[in-house]
Structure formats: C-alpha cells, structure tokens
C-alpha cells in the first residue's frame, strides 16, 4: 500500500505537470470510486476548471482547482495516479480519466478498488461526512515533539497500533511503522504507557528520518506502487525490517522475527528492539 513517501513522490511528480492545466473532459468509469458528489455533478463542476496546485496530507492527495474546490485522491491498496499520453493503452481497472488541455490524460487506476476519490471544498466534504479524520502529517510544520508525545498519550495499546492510526498521525502504514520502530529500537508490540520520554523522542526523530530517506529514493515498490509516470520506486532494497522476516538483522545479525499485530504482519529484531 502506498504510504507517505510514495504519495509524496506522486505529488512532486505530478504537481508541475498538472498546475496550470485545464480539465477538458472527465470520464468516470466506476462510479463507486467517487464518494462525493454524484458523477454528473462531478463532471459538470470539474470540466473547464484550471488546476491551481497539488498537495498532500498523510496519504491523501489534493489536486486544487481554481474555484476553490479540489479532487482528493486516496490510493488505497493498489491505486495509481499517472499522467499519460493519450495513445498509451488504457489499462484495465482505470476508473477515472481526466483529459487535459495539453492533450495528455490524468488516469486513476486501481485493481482492488480500495482507493477513493472525493470532489468539492474541504468544508463541503466534511459536512457530507466523507472527509477522513486525519492527525498531523509527520513532515508538517505542526508535528512537534510535544504534539507527538501528547497524541500517543498513556494508552494501553501497542505502539505500532497507534502509529498506524491515521486519526493520530497521518501517513504511516505497515512498512514505515515497522521501519520507524526498528530505527528507534522499540519493539512494535510494546504498550504505549511503557514507552519512556527518551524513547518517544527517539521514535519522533526516527519517523521523520525514515520517511525522508524513502522520499529521497522515490518510495518503495513492494507491491503495485508506481510513481506519477508509472515507474517503480527505489527504496524497497533499503528497507531494514519490513519484508525481511527470518533474515539477519543489519545491526546484530540475529534472525528478524515476524508476529501479527493489529491484524498486520509485523517484523522486528528481538535483540535490538526491547
């Protein structure tokens, strides 16, 4: 599943391609991918508008339009958002095609259909109850240590479950939650109330370092993830624990262990992470 670094890569790829372009036509193939508004209203509102910019909060992308509304895209498990020449074959499972005034197309492709599309102003989408509740973005200016430590609280649940909770912190998924816990030397199963202030500080720094390293490598293509031009990322070869169960730990050479936590496969080093 694309997480913050993968979504950031798509946004930085597409922002210069889309900004200033006008939407000439909108073809929504699978209506259920659009959670708001209805398809006819959507097409009537987006066609003719110019793209003002593109941004991201956590894993949620926003293509901002000149009239103050926006197309919000969440890639879910297998979503891809790419800009293509019109002669490129349209892949099966392409659910939205926006024709742009430079002749190219923005295409949303999602075989497993866990992604979602929203259109409107943020106020409108919140009022409709379809805008996700998202905590601070770990690379945003408001993600201070005080805020991070406060969000975690003194809870009973495992630290990894909190890191995956998008309403607490927006952007981490299974890959970077495991990588952050390893970098901070904290076992993902540890209860939050037993994570010291010094350890919280280490985890706070680790989350940002881990995400920034992956962004520099254009994200991890461990499954279907592709960047804004359809190419895979390069960070999958640099992951230290994710996908490496049974392999030697890069620090101590002991075997990495896999457990299930919050319904997700979780890999850690039982010697380096306490």
Task: Compare residues 44 and 247 and give the one whose CB is closer to Zn ion.
Answer: 247
| Helix, strand, coil share of the chain (percent; to 5) | 30, 25, 45
Task: Reply yes or no on whether 2 is catalytic.
Answer: yes
Contacts of 72 (CB under 8 A, 6+ apart): 60, 61, 62, 63, 117, 118, 119, 125, 131
Distance CA 124, CA 133 (A): 14
Phi first, then psi: what are they for 106, rounded to 5°? -100, 125
At its nearest, how many Å lie between Zn ion and the CB of residue 254? 5
At its nearest, how many Å lie between Zn ion and the CB of residue 27? 51
Distance CA 90, CA 2 (A): 21
Q: Which residues bind Zn ion (CB under 5 A)?
A: 249, 251-252, 269, 271-272
Asked if 7 and 61 touch (Cβ cutoff 8 Å), the reply is yes
Phi-psi region of 20 (alpha: psi -120 to 50; beta: other; left: phi over 0): left
Task: Reply yes or no on whether 3 is catalytic.
Answer: yes
Cis amide bond preceding 37, omega within 30: yes
Q: Which residue is nearest to Zn ion (CB)?
A: 249
DSSP letter assigned to residue 203:
H
Pairing, β 116-120 against β 34-36: parallel
Task: Compare residues 123 and 252 and give the one whose CB is closer to Zn ion.
Answer: 252
Question: What is the token pair recorded at 143?
Answer: 């993600």
Task: Compare residues 143 and 182 and give the one whose CB is closer to Zn ion.
Answer: 182
Task: Compare residues 50 and 271 and give the one whose CB is closer to Zn ion.
Answer: 271
Which residue of the set 147, 155, 257, 264 is catalytic? 264
Which residue of the set 21, 56, 59, 107 is catalytic? 59
Task: Compare residues 90 and 272 and give the one whose CB is closer to Zn ion.
Answer: 272
At its nearest, how many Å lie between Zn ion and the CB of residue 252? 3
At its nearest, how many Å lie between Zn ion and the CB of residue 146? 31
Asked if 208 and 35 touch (Cβ cutoff 8 Å), the reply is no
At its nearest, how many Å lie between Zn ion and the CB of residue 251? 4
Residues tagged active-site: 2-3, 59, 264
């Amino acid at each position: 599943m694309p997480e913050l670094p993968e979504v950031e890569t798509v946004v930085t790829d597409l922002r210069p391609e889309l900004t200033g372009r006008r939407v000439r036509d909108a073809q929504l193939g699978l209506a259920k991918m659009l959670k708001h508004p209805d398809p006819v209203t959507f097409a009537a509102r987006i066609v003719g508008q110019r793209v003002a910019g593109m941004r991201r909060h956590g894993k949620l992308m926003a293509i901002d339009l000149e009239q103050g509304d926006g197309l919000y895209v969440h890639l879910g498990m297998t979503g891809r958002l790419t800009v293509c020449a019109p002669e490129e074959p349209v892949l099966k499972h392409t659910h939205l095609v926006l024709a742009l005034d430079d002749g190219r197309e923005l295409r949303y492709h999602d075989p497993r259909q866990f992604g979602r599309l929203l259109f409107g102003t943020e106020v409108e989408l919140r009022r409709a109850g379809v805008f996700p509740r998202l905590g601070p973005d770990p690379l945003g200016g408001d993600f201070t240590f005080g805020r991070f430590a406060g969000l975690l609280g003194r809870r009973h649940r495992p630290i990894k479950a909190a890191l995956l909770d998008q309403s607490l912190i927006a952007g981490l998924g299974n890959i970077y939650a495991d990588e952050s816990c390893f970098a901070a030397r904290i076992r993902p199963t540890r209860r939050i109330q037993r994570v010291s202030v010094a350890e919280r500080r280490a985890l706070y720094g680790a989350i940002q370092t881990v995400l920034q390293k992956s962004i520099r490598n254009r994200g991890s293509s461990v499954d279907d993830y592709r960047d804004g031009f359809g190419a895979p990322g390069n960070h999958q070869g640099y992951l230290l624990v994710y996908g490496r169960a049974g392999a030697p730990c890069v620090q101590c050479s002991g075997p990495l262990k896999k457990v299930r936590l919050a319904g997700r496969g979780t890999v850690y080093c039982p010697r380096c992470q306490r």
